[in-house]
Amino acid sequence: MSKVKSFSVGNGDMFYIKHGSSNFSIIDCCLNDDNKENIVNELKDESQYKDISRFISTHPDEDHIKQLDYLDDNMPIINFYCVKNETTKKDETSGFKRYCKLRDSDKSYYLQRGCRRKWLNESDSERGGSGIHILWPNINNQYYKDALQIAKDGGSPNNISPIITYSISDGAIYQWMGDLETDFMENIKNDVSLSKVNILFAPHHGRDTGKVPKSMLDIMKPNIIIIGEAPSAELNYYQGYNTITQNSAGNIIFINDGNEIHIYVSNKNYSVDFLKNKNKSEYNYYLGTLEL
């Protein structure tokens, strides 16, 4: 079994994957003085018996790298994954400064479509891969090059975000899209090879400005869309799809068990009507099970 957790960190993103292999992955960082100690302690506990640990940064906006320096100081990042970029910011936070230091160091590995690496997505006789694959960016795409230039010039780095999948053999498929914006996705949709996903984390925290185009959703056919913690007035609730809204659900844990995903949330009063009840109780509070 493996475990995916989406932390409720307010207007920001932070996830981890406790793989079924000897891998542990953290995706993005959004810490504050109230949550950072508890979150980092949990990350240490969950990863303590894993041989390979990595940090994947979708893009260097503050709500995805907040207090990255605290994480790195207390749980040193050995393998840092990001797209190759030269993002600049007028006001440099401690998290952004650490991002740049890691990005430009020999700890970094640059993500692009189809990249292969032990033990990101390749196995050997020593250990298995993590099941993480990169669908985007195509570094030769002009729209992507334009997004890199905007970020280099101090503009928004939203559209340099990669598209990342985590898949389990004969099991669940998860997808992250960072903070990609709707107009950008419309421009690149014919240059991305998408396929079926079970759990889709809505880009840009579920904002209407990051609504995934219908043509892409028709290919992915997500069983559940996770809507992030942007202000409610800015959210797109993806009518016609099964959704979990993190503003209301709190922390979300996904336990991958064969062809089932057992889902738990931290708000005991949150409920949905599209999951099966398998009477699970590993964590508080059991929301239900998605049968694949």
pLDDT in tens, 125-141: 888 899 999 999 999 99
pLDDT digits (tens, 9 = 90+) for 30-89: 999 999 999 999 999 999 999 999 999 999 999 999 999 999 999 999 999 999 999 999
**pLDDT band with cut points at 50, 70 and 90 for residue 9:** very high
* Backbone phi, psi, residue 214, to 5°: -60, -35
β pairing state of 224-227 and 243-245: parallel
Q: Compute the mean pLDDT over every residue in the chain, rounded to the nearest whole number.
A: 97
DSSP string, 66-114: ETHHHHHHHS--SSEEE-------SS--HHHHHHHHHHTSTTEEE--TT
CB of 10 closer than 8 Å to CB of 36: no
Domain boundaries, the chain: 2-158+246-291
Report the pLDDT averaged over residues 89-102.
98
pLDDT score for 6:
98
pTM for the full predicted model: 0.98
Residue type, 186: E
Name 259's Cβ contacts closer than 8 Å, sequence gap at least 6. Answer: 170, 171, 291, 292
Q: Determine the residue type at 138.
A: N
